[in-house]
């Protein structure tokens, strides 16, 4: 379980570095990172026989972060027409 969490984190970070052109790809790789961190956190909590309520707090944080990211993506696409970073301009006509 710990190895899978580490692999998820590494692949999520690599995909975030190499897929910076689209906002949706960055959000998906960020969620992949969060799932890997949840796996490591779950392993750490089970190893120490600690409270499982902290995992629920983390899951609530993950859901809130995902909803906020998708809301920003929807407003970005409605305002700009796409989520392609190179089409952004600071000069609005």
Residues 16-64: pLDDT tens digits? 888 777 788 888 898 889 999 888 888 888 887 667 888 888 899 999 9
CA atoms of 26 and 36, how far apart (whole Å): 15
* pTM, full prediction: 0.76
CA atoms of 30 and 15, how far apart (whole Å): 9
- For the chain, the distance separating the N- and C-terminal CA atoms, rounded to the nearest angstrom, is 52
Query: Class assignment of domain 2-87?
Result: mainly alpha
């Amino acid at each position: 379980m710990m190895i899978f969490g580490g692999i998820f984190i590494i692949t999520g970070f690599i995909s975030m570095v190499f897929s910076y052109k689209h906002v949706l790809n960055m959000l998906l790789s960020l969620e992949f990172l969060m799932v890997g961190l949840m796996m490591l956190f779950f392993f750490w909590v089970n190893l120490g026989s600690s409270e499982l309520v902290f995992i629920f707090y983390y899951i609530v944080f993950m859901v809130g972060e995902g909803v906020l990211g998708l809301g920003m993506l929807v407003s970005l696409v409605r305002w700009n027409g796409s989520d392609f970073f190179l089409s952004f301009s600071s000069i609005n006509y």
